[in-house]
Structure 1
Amino acid sequence: MTNIKINHTEIQFEEESLRITLCKEKTVWEWTDTYSPHLECEDGHLEFKDALSVRHKKVENGIGAGIRSTYRGFRIGERELPYAFETYVWIEWTTEDVYFEWIPLCEEGIKVKAVYWPGEMAFEEKKENWYTLLNMQQGILIPNTWEVELGKIIFDGIFETAGGYMPWFAQVKARQGYIAICTTPWNAAYQAKHPAGGPYTHVGMRFEPSLGKMDYRRVVRYSLLSDCDYNDICKAYREYVKEQGRLRTLAEKAAQVPSVDRLIGCSFVHKGIKTYVSEGSDFFDKDAPDINNQLVSFAKREEEIRELNAAGVKKLYMHLDGWAEPGYDNQHPDYVPACEAAGGWEKMRSLVDAMHECGYLFGIHDQYRDYYHSAPSYDDDYACMLPDGTIPQHQRWAGGPQSYLCGTQAPYYVKRNFKELKKNRIELDCAYLDVFTCNEGDECNNPRHRMTRKECYDARASCFNYLMSQGILPSSEEVSDWCIPSMVFSHYAPYDFMLREPGSPKYGVPVPLFNLVYHDCLIEPWMMEKVSDSEDYMLYALLNGGAPYVIRDGAYPNFDGSFEPDVKLTLDQDIERCKVVSELHEKVAKCEMVRHEMVGGDYEVQRTVFSDGTVVTVDFRNQVYEITR
């Protein structure tokens, strides 16, 4: 065994099994007995220890000390292949953080699908104060005693998607914990398992190829924390992103575009104009043709806005779907002109003018990822191409067959389309660029515009930055770590259970991990449905200091949280409930969420504390709340 120790932190490395154990003072974190470092390849499963040559070397330099291991040559069948890589596990002198680095040296002969390393920690004791933190949407805490099995993780746990808003996971046992931060998250993911009733939760890291190759060094940083809870872990990550220069607050964004302050405290309205579901779409219903085609005029939406104003709604933002020909989720990126059957540019302009006359903010739904074959400008040459030369396509959404627009092209289309809107005197306050912060980044192997996943995120950010340069506040579907410097608000940033059918079991305790890091950086609207006599989403909006939806008409019924609630409220009741949430949002939107806690250890009674001293306590069991200073 090889040991590396710096101050209170130690790495123990077993050369025979290649297992790593991390120690800090008296706390030991060791890999599970069943884990062995391995690669999943097109030709099957390869263990690190199967390498024909394995060398280990102690390394010490000016920043730390560790163990470098080199693995060369693998045999598949009768073939000996030169594939080679290194691992480097080391402790930083200054921080005592432990870094795990996987480094490709020669990729000849083997097509790697995933590298499963570093390993999952043994976490076997059925104790309530042993828990795992996953960034699946807003966040969940899974005690080892949790009775519900962890279900399918959305987007297969890929970081920078709805399955991993932030690129880290963590575990705590009796106030001793670690946070594993993937510092190269663009082609990385996690996988986790918690059986019904525990008694364990296992979570591990994996790295996936970029354009068919592992290509670059992959890094995970483990910080071992003493006397900590999930708040301390979130604040450790907040400190990390501050060090990276990626913590950009709403106050900073408002200094660039002052209308950020006008959006704070708004009630949100989500409405549409035209729905057209093509026969080539998976959503097409041949037995109910009326569902496939629906139209509401711009004049009708203007009338509804004036009614809300008359009802006393003082601050409001409207997100408008399906405003262009030929309808919602159709023909992108060629999404103009304004829907003629609904009144065209003239009536759309009248709606926008009415919004501004009422003191409200207006924004549109738009899309620069889904690349519809029906778009006049569609060209395979600008669709994302896989390394094998194929172009992925499907027909999930309303517009039917589509591929994916290479992200390198998106900024050009954004500029083109928003210039057209301006030419037609549609004065936008905000704009929603769909799926950018929910779905994974794309990759493209077309040599004319080759793009890695990291470059895709950069291209998406440049679309947001362009909108900000024009005084338009950018939004997208959910939230993601990469968008913090460039995006102002989201469609929502829900707990994972909110997008499943009401009454579905919770995979863990809902906790605001994302907001403990980024609350003061983004505006998040929250669902406000009282979905049943025992569940009221308004309480989550208050607990998170977010903005409220007064009306939320989802584009696809019974999908992405658009379910009919059991409890029907009147519009007046909805307005009154939103007023409470909006007033709180005005107070705390620019405040850091400094702490979240289970009151008395009760998961059903939760409390958040904001940096201005505001304290919100909600009792989910009795459906009551209290806001104090």
Structure 2
Amino acid sequence: MVLRESGSQVEFNCSMSVLPDGRVVFDLDAGDRTTEFKTLEFPPALETNFEDGALTFCDRSCGVLIPQNDKEFPTKVLRSYGNTGLDMPWAGVLDIKKGDGMMVLIEPWADAAMILRPDSRERYWLQPRWIASMQRWAYPRRVAYRFSPAGGYVALAKMYRDYARETGLLKTMAEKAAERPKVAWLKGGACIWGSDGLKFAREARAAGIRRGIVYDRYEPPRPFPAADIKAMTDLGFLVSEYDDLYQCEEGVTGFGRDRMEEAGVRTADGKPIAGWDGQGFIRSPSLGLRAARTYMPSLLEKHPYTARFLDETSTVDLLEDYHPNHRLDRRQDMAYRIELFRYFQKELGLVVGGEHGKAWNVPVEDYTEGMMSGPFWWGEGNKPGHLIVPKDRTYMPANFAKYGDDYKVRIPLWELVFHDCLVTTWYWGDSSDWFYETQPDVSSRKDLSNILYGTMPLLWADNKGYGWNRNRARFLETVRNVCHFHERVGFDELLTHEYLSEDRAVQRTRFSGGGVAVVNFGDEARAYEDGERTLLLAPLGFYATAPGFRQSRTIEKGNVVTRIEAKGLLTVESKERRRIGPVEVQGSLTAFEAAPGRWHLLAETQGESTVDMRELAAPAVPKRCSLVKLAADGATTKELAPDLPGCKVVLPAASGLRLFGVQMTF
């Protein structure tokens, strides 16, 4: 068929095909690709008779599931190339009750958008909008409709996963780690900003934090000394530095600087584009690699970082550049950004992270900050980009509270596609601990979301979140409850996500390696049957298992009890005195094997607590155990018992965290 766009009068050729796999495909092309035009909305939104319709997509978020008649959702046009548009070039409409659904997939996706189009009953349907490339049609476009008879948003996500595999987007973390072994260090790690470097790393390791990304001093940027970076690497931490090759200030080409007249992006009318918040200017994506080569090799010689965080590059709008010396369209912009990421991965061998993420950069990134954050965290009230610490409950924008923080709306749509391909966490202005001082329940729910999705926490070690020196026990609680499970499932495919209660408070996920997570977002205890017994999940409680691993926060005899059990690890937390295996405790106690034959005990006890070290170390049988008091960095400060009777540790009640060491002789 031939179409004529009413505004530009451009003629388009369109063919519709029904493929053997059931896809309905519309292929569009202009009769003259060089004729100027702006937009084309075609085909019309396809409608059906869903009983309980819903829309699902990732709009700079991990995914949302909103009612089809939700008129209040702020964004009605989702750009496939935009910073705050579609992270994957598709959206779905589905029937919540029956599970059947339809995916609308844009191919290619650099110059398009998805419109949420209301019908006469004010239900929203999906319609593609085609956008000019350099003011022209430029190339063929396609939209594919894929249908699923059951499975809801999970089935739609798996359809796109199949497409991602077919088109080369599905590169797994295991494959990346095979090329660069330190990628494996992301498994079980935490993303940590604002620390003092080596001192923090030593204390964190002594307290049981085995993996993580430790960032340098970002404000102002001051690289860690080479000796400190090497020491932190020896402790098992990735050491990273903030970078931004997208925008820069005027100056000699290099770190954060370039010549605007030569390197700046130009609009169609020849004007430069200012950077974020009006600062500096946007460098042409075609020149980002040139800039990186001017400083990265020498920087790494002086400061041997093992990771690099590239702000903006992976998420901000794909651009058109009309500069006469480096004209490019959005597709070329994407290609240049991919080339830049590959330089950091392939030539420099670094573990590479970026702000948020899009499907096109999954193969060339290893971790991303922002995917776990829901949409609209950038709204009025909160100032995440400026890192202004929340002072009251108004700092959480209303739309973020409704669509981003609400467990009834947010879903792991991104993770159902790419969990085994990219490690994800929160935005630094929406970190695990960002709202802790004003809304501590938000931090608890974020921990639950990390457990449920099998993702990494992001924490502030300075004064912006928990603070390592202010709320160390809470900092360690997030790491303890999230990272041990992430170590077991972090590189696995996320197979399913489901609601186990009508109010969506109880949710469950399953992972390809056998991991299962169940969380209770509600403020009341909920029963859960695990196949062997009935557990009573505590308010904001959880139950997660993987081969050789189990953790839970449940109600036992009327008391909230947290436990984590694995080889070389045991955590027990209870306000009332409880005996679990080799530990009897009132308060919190974590025992972990810090080195062969050497255990650390991290305790905050309200009553006398005991640990049977022989039972804990089984099947090994130590002949003798000695107990010492440890400083925060793990150094011995006092010998307490050179030969523990029966290898049993007895700890008196005491306020505050205390660290002990037990050396076993076999």
Q: 1:374 Cα deviation (Å)?
A: 5.2
Provide the residue aligned with 2:543 in structure 1.
Answer: 626
Provide the residue aligned with 1:95 in structure 2.
Answer: 21
Give the counterpart letter for 1:388 in structure 2.
Answer: D
1:489 and 2:367 equivalent? yes
Number of aligned residue pairs: 489
1:446 and 2:370 equivalent? no
Q: 1:132 Cα deviation (Å)?
A: 1.0
The CA distance in 2 between the partners of 1:459 and 1:142, in whole Å, is: 35
Instruction: Show the 5 A alignment for 1:533-572.
Output: 534-535=441-442, 536-551=445-460, 570-572=471-473
1:69 and 2:19 equivalent? no
1:574 and 2:475 equivalent? yes
1:509 and 2:409 equivalent? yes
Q: 1:233 Cα deviation (Å)?
A: 0.7
For the residue of structure 1 that corresponds to 2:543, the secondary structure is strand
* Structure 1 runs not aligned, ≥5 long: 1-67, 273-299, 329-338, 340-344, 555-561
Whether the 8 Å CA contact 1:528–1:541 is kept in 2: the answer is no
The CA distance in 1 between the partners of 2:272 and 2:462, in whole Å, is: 33
1:238 and 2:161 equivalent? yes
The CA distance in 2 between the partners of 1:395 and 1:244, in whole Å, is: 32
> Of 209, 233, 247, which residue of structure 2 is paired with 1:313?
209
Give the counterpart letter for 1:377 in structure 2.
Answer: D
Q: 1:142 Cα deviation (Å)?
A: 1.1
Instruction: Show the 5 A alignment for 1:273-288.
Output: none
The CA distance in 2 between the partners of 1:591 and 1:88, in whole Å, is: 40
Whether the 8 Å CA contact 1:123–1:201 is kept in 2: the answer is no
Deviation string for 1:11-35 (max 9, x for gaps)? xxxxxxxxxxxxxxxxxxxxxxxxx
Deviates more, 1:155-164 or 1:253-262: 155-164
> Of 267, 285, 293, which residue of structure 2 is paired with 1:407?
285
Whether the 8 Å CA contact 1:614–1:628 is kept in 2: the answer is yes
Q: 1:354 Cα deviation (Å)?
A: 3.4
The CA distance in 2 between the partners of 1:485 and 1:166, in whole Å, is: 14
The CA distance in 1 between the partners of 2:115 and 2:250, in whole Å, is: 35
Give the counterpart letter for 1:360 in structure 2.
Answer: F
The CA distance in 1 between the partners of 2:503 and 2:514, in whole Å, is: 22
Deviation string for 1:182-224 (max 9, x for gaps)? 11101111232689xx962233221211122121111111012
Distance 1:417 1:187, change over 3 A: same
TM-score of the two chains, using structure 2 as the length reference: 0.68
1:204 and 2:131 equivalent? no
The CA distance in 2 between the partners of 1:162 and 1:606, in whole Å, is: 27
1:593 and 2:461 equivalent? no
> Of 16, 20, 45, which residue of structure 2 is paired with 1:120?
45
Instruction: Show the 5 A alignment for 1:349-360.
Output: 349-360=226-237
Distance 1:160 1:251, change over 3 A: farther
Q: 1:394 Cα deviation (Å)?
A: 5.1
Distance 1:626 1:498, change over 3 A: farther
* Structure 2 runs not aligned, ≥5 long: 379-394, 523-538, 547-666
Whether the 8 Å CA contact 1:160–1:482 is kept in 2: the answer is no
Deviation string for 1:93-139 (max 9, x for gaps)? x2221112221223677x433222222234687x5x32111221211
Whether the 8 Å CA contact 2:260–2:281 is kept in 1: the answer is no
> Of 413, 425, 430, which residue of structure 2 is paired with 1:525?
425
Bigger relative contact order (CA 8 A; separation at least 6): 1
Whether the 8 Å CA contact 1:550–1:575 is kept in 2: the answer is no
Provide the residue aligned with 1:584 in structure 2.
Answer: 485
Provide the residue aligned with 1:304 in structure 2.
Answer: 200
The CA distance in 2 between the partners of 1:569 and 1:628, in whole Å, is: 31
Give the counterpart letter for 2:205 in structure 1.
Answer: N
Deviation string for 1:334-370 (max 9, x for gaps)? xxxxx4xxxxx6x532431331243321011101111
1:417 and 2:298 equivalent? no
Provide the residue aligned with 2:263 in structure 1.
Answer: 382
Provide the residue aligned with 1:105 in structure 2.
Answer: 31
Q: Which structure 1 residue ranges, 4+ long, deviate > 6 Å from structure 2?
A: none
Instruction: Show the 5 A alignment for 1:79-228.
Output: 83-92=10-19, 94-106=20-32, 111-122=36-47, 127=51, 129-136=52-59, 137-144=61-68, 149-152=72-75, 156-159=78-81, 161-173=83-95, 174-192=98-116, 200-228=123-151
The CA distance in 1 between the partners of 2:499 and 2:306, in whole Å, is: 39
For the residue of structure 1 that corresponds to 2:286, the secondary structure is coil
Deviation string for 1:490-525 (max 9, x for gaps)? 123124257254373423711111100000001112
Give the counterpart letter for 1:179 in structure 2.
Answer: M
Give the counterpart letter for 1:101 in structure 2.
Answer: D
Whether the 8 Å CA contact 1:231–1:596 is kept in 2: the answer is yes
| CA RMSD, 1 decimal | 3.0
Deviation string for 1:536-573 (max 9, x for gaps)? 2111111110112242669xxxxxxx8x79xx982122
Deviation string for 1:9-61 (max 9, x for gaps)? xxxxxxxxxxxxxxxxxxxxxxxxxxxxxxxxxxxxxxxxxxxxxxxxxxxxx
Provide the residue aligned with 1:39 in structure 2.
Answer: none
The CA distance in 2 between the partners of 1:523 and 1:514, in whole Å, is: 11
Q: 1:461 Cα deviation (Å)?
A: 1.3
> Of 192, 196, 210, which residue of structure 2 is paired with 1:269?
192
The CA distance in 1 between the partners of 2:341 and 2:140, in whole Å, is: 29
Whether the 8 Å CA contact 1:159–1:166 is kept in 2: the answer is no
Give the counterpart letter for 1:491 in structure 2.
Answer: E
Whether the 8 Å CA contact 1:192–1:201 is kept in 2: the answer is yes
The CA distance in 2 between the partners of 1:416 and 1:394, in whole Å, is: 21
Distance 1:172 1:303, change over 3 A: same
Whether the 8 Å CA contact 2:267–2:322 is kept in 1: the answer is yes
1:613 and 2:613 equivalent? no
Deviation string for 1:290-309 (max 9, x for gaps)? xxxxxxxxxx4433333333
Provide the residue aligned with 2:620 in structure 1.
Answer: none
Provide the residue aligned with 2:579 in structure 1.
Answer: none
Whether the 8 Å CA contact 1:117–1:204 is kept in 2: the answer is yes
Give the counterpart letter for 1:392 in structure 2.
Answer: I
Provide the residue aligned with 1:430 in structure 2.
Answer: 307
Distance 1:495 1:609, change over 3 A: same
Provide the residue aligned with 1:372 in structure 2.
Answer: 249
Distance 1:498 1:609, change over 3 A: farther
Provide the residue aligned with 1:391 in structure 2.
Answer: 272
Deviation string for 1:217-261 (max 9, x for gaps)? 111110122233111111111111111122100011011001111
Give the counterpart letter for 2:171 in structure 1.
Answer: R
Q: 1:448 Cα deviation (Å)?
A: 2.3
Give the counterpart letter for 1:499 in structure 2.
Answer: W
Identity of aligned residues (%): 22
> Of 340, 348, 365, which residue of structure 2 is paired with 1:463?
340
The CA distance in 1 between the partners of 2:49 and 2:281, in whole Å, is: 44
Distance 1:569 1:240, change over 3 A: farther
The CA distance in 1 between the partners of 2:4 and 2:135, in whole Å, is: 20
